[in-house]
Amino acid sequence: MSEFEAEAPRVHRGLKDVYFDRSGVSSIDGRAGELRYRGYSIHDLAENATFEEVCALLLYGELPTRSQLSEIDSELKASRAIPAEIHALIASLKHAHPMEVLRTAVSALGALCPEPSDTSTSTLLRQGLRLTAQVPTIITSHYRLRQGLNPVEPSRELAHGANFLYMLHGIQPTADAARIMDVDLVLHAEHGSNASSFTARVVAGTGANLYAALTAAIGALSGPAHGGAAEDVIRMVREIGEPANAAAWVKEKRAQREPIMGFGHRVYRAKDPRARHLSDRAERLSHEFGQPQWYAVLQAVVEAMQPYSRLGVNVNVDFYAGVIYHLLGIPQDFFVPIFAMGRVPGWVIQVREQVENNILIRPLTVYDGPPSRGWVPIDARG
């Protein structure tokens, strides 16, 4: 009996509960429902920090001083433009899903980059900051071209979130809308070893460059089990229509063993701590825009899902994000790209961690196919 047969290896499907490395970027306590970036509570960051501050915190390890913040802010503002080749590429793909366009454009930026394969820390951080600045321009240029409108030149004055809304709609957002966008980006900036960040690390682990890692990460984020839930939540609210229909709708879905979108999480057993910061804002926006039914339906779904809370299935960040985006005038298929836009610094810093202490990520699968067998000539098959 071989050693392999003597002790069957334990399979961790989906790598559930497996620690594959150490990381100094973010920590999640799934039971307590806590999330920290570099030790700072997500609640403190959501209430006090700007996206630019969080970007500096994630990329450089500490909250920036005033002069450091001004430096990173200037660099982001100066890096927003995208090359003409990328504009042409977006125009040629304008009818594709925005995540397909974003993935292709980021990949093409790598092909146009003069130093794509330099994975030194300084180059990686410079490329990462540039990508953080360029992703909103890709997304908004696509949106405008698809609408038959000219893309809006990036602002040299507005903050990251406000500039995104400005490039999207061509008018300066209100201070409230700009802050909501900013908070949303802060909440999405980093989240440990989620599928897209893990993907980025796997790609970077082979020695491939940052553009390759982020292209793959965007691909991973495009799936409904990861980034697509906010889009599905809007579909769900439309389908439910009235708060009074929510309980029966949830019951029907659960009878078919279908997941309720915007609920559940691989790591959190308590409520996703990010959800709270969007819940209040979704309610306020719903009323401000004279569309209170959006929030009312969401709350009715939360009530209908109450019995599942004791099983660890609670509301997650995507549950409220979709309604906020909808009320900000953003079409449904642009919801996941916004998630990607917030997550760029998280992906970049995880790639940096991987590169700085690299090991090829190469797990094993247990073979359970047919036993060894002899070759069968083609005429003897069938």
Ligand X SMILES: CC(C)(COP(=O)(O)OP(=O)(O)OC[C@H]1O[C@@H](n2cnc3c(N)ncnc32)[C@H](O)[C@@H]1OP(=O)(O)O)[C@@H](O)C(=O)NCCC(=O)NCCS
Q: Which stretch binds ligand X (CB under 6 A): 39-47, 121-129, 163-171, 255-263?
A: 255-263
Question: Please, which residues have CB within 8 angstroms of residue 178's CB and are 6 or more apart in sequence?
Answer: 158, 159, 161, 162, 165
Distance CA 35, CA 37 (A): 7
By the rule CB under 6 A, 192 interacts with ligand X = no
Distance CA 148, CA 44 (A): 41
By the rule CB under 6 A, 18 interacts with ligand X = no
Q: Which stretch binds ligand X (CB under 6 A): 76-84, 93-101, 309-317, 342-350?
A: 309-317
Q: How many residues form the binding site for ligand X (CB under 6 A)? A: 17
By the rule CB under 6 A, 313 interacts with ligand X = yes
Q: Toward ligand X, which CB reaches closer, 264 or 346?
A: 264
Q: Which stretch binds ligand X (CB under 6 A): 32-40, 65-73, 152-160, 258-266?
A: 258-266
Q: Which residue has its beta carbon closest to ligand X?
A: 264
CB atoms inside a 10 Å sphere around CB 43: 15
Distance CA 344, CA 342 (A): 6
Give the C-alpha distances (Å, rounded to integers) separating 214 from 1, 51, 136, 208, 351.
45, 19, 15, 10, 9
From 73, 184, 272, 318, active-site residue: 318
By the rule CB under 6 A, 260 interacts with ligand X = yes
Active site residue 142: no
By the rule CB under 6 A, 339 interacts with ligand X = no
By the rule CB under 6 A, 326 interacts with ligand X = no
CB of 268 to ligand X, least distance (A): 8
Distance CA 358, CA 350 (A): 11
Q: Toward ligand X, which CB reaches closer, 310 or 362?
A: 310
By the rule CB under 6 A, 225 interacts with ligand X = yes
Cβ-contact 108, 85 below 8 angstroms:
yes
Q: Which stretch binds ligand X (CB under 6 A): 108-116, 145-153, 310-318, 346-354?
A: 310-318
CB of 217 to ligand X, least distance (A): 15
By the rule CB under 6 A, 221 interacts with ligand X = no
Q: Toward ligand X, which CB reaches closer, 211 or 339?
A: 339
Q: Which stretch binds ligand X (CB under 6 A): 86-94, 98-106, 117-125, 263-271?
A: 263-271
Distance CA 75, CA 190 (A): 21
By the rule CB under 6 A, 276 interacts with ligand X = no
Chain centre distance of CA 169: 22
- DSSP assignment letter at 184: H
Q: Toward ligand X, which CB reaches closer, 30 or 116?
A: 30
Question: Please, which residues have CB within 8 angstroms of residue 209's CB and are 6 or more apart in sequence?
Answer: 110, 116, 117, 118, 119
CB of 297 to ligand X, least distance (A): 16
Cα–Cα nearest to 214, from 341, 73, 79? 341
CB of 229 to ligand X, least distance (A): 3
CA angle 171, 222, 213 (to 5 degrees): 100
Question: Please, which residues have CB within 8 angstroms of residue 33's CB and are 6 or more apart in sequence?
Answer: 268, 269, 270, 271, 272, 273, 314
Distance CA 312, CA 19 (A): 21
By the rule CB under 6 A, 15 interacts with ligand X = no
Which of 99, 158, 204, 229: binder of ligand X (CB under 6 A)? 229
By the rule CB under 6 A, 343 interacts with ligand X = no
From 87, 265, 277, 326, active-site residue: 265
Active site residue 368: no
Annotated catalytic residues are 265, 318
Q: Which residues bind ligand X (CB under 6 A)?
A: 225, 229, 259-266, 308, 311-313, 316-318
